[in-house]
Copies of this chain bind each other. A is one copy, B any other.
Amino acid sequence: MDAVSAKRSPRPRKQKFFDRHDEVIRAAARVFAEKGFRHATLEDIADALDITRAALYYYARSKDELATQCSDKAAEQFNEAVESAQRHQTGREQIVAFFRRYAEIICDDFGRFFVRLNIRELAEPAQIRTRVGQRELHEAVQAMIAAGIADGTLRDADQKDISRILFGAFNGIVRWYRPGSRAPSQVADDFLAIFLRGLTA
């Protein structure tokens, strides 16, 4: 996406670098998700970008470095999803808004990579940063649930369990979702309808 627009409209060099950089880590995320981080090579990523290994080296020196940049990108998107969800009034509205966006993110390159990633694959500092980010994400969702219980839009149940159930069910989407079927936001709506209404006849 960014790359295309970068080609169409000439931009100052710096801007161009960032566009290209975004394109590089997006390609890395796609290759990691397809081949698995373990099997993917820097050559695969260079090939996907149709650039040389040397050119790729200009953007990242190792798989670790690319993986870290991908997971940071995902974290950035998750934080934006939290912030925009928090603008909604009731806890229930916040949960619905957050998981609609969460589904979109994890069905896209960085989010899919992040959900499939075994965090132990990352270099030590990135592991720590990622775990902190995950905890903050879960805490933000638990706060939305608590708000919903407080404002009467959600039933009083264990906030930690509800958050674990929602993240587990949504993260599972990346295992079966294929583009072209339901839109991710539609999957989210269908899932949330089942969660909110329950399975009891």
Contact partner of A201 among B152, B158, B193, CB < 8 A? Answer: B152
Known: A164-B176, A169-B169. A199 touches B39 (CB 8 A): no
What 0/1 readout, one digit per residue, does chain A (158-189) give for beta carbons within 8 Å of chain B?
Answer: 10011011111111110110000000000000
Q: Cα distance A158–B152 when bound, in Å?
A: 28
Q: Cα distance A175–B166 when bound, in Å?
A: 13
A190 within 8 A of B: yes
Report the stretch among A4-12, A18-26, A66-74, A116-124 that lies at the interface.
Answer: A116-124
A88 within 8 A of B: no
Contact partner of A164 among B149, B161, B172, B195, CB < 8 A? Answer: B172
Q: How many Å from the CB of A40 to the closest CB on chain B?
A: 11
Q: How many Å from the CB of A69 to the closest CB on chain B?
A: 20
**Copy count, this protein chain:** 2
Known: A120-B36, A199-B195, A201-B153. A169 touches B164 (CB 8 A): yes
Q: Cα distance A167–B169 when bound, in Å?
A: 7
A194 within 8 A of B: yes
Contact partner of A155 among B155, B162, B175, B201, CB < 8 A? Answer: B201
A87 within 8 A of B: no
A125 within 8 A of B: no
Extra pairs beyond A155-B198, A167-B172 (8, CB < 8 Å):
A153-B201, A155-B199, A157-B197, A164-B176, A168-B170, A168-B175, A171-B172, A195-B199
The 6 A-B residue pairs whose C-beta atoms are closest, nearest first, are: A198-B198, A168-B172, A168-B169, A165-B169, A38-B38, A169-B169
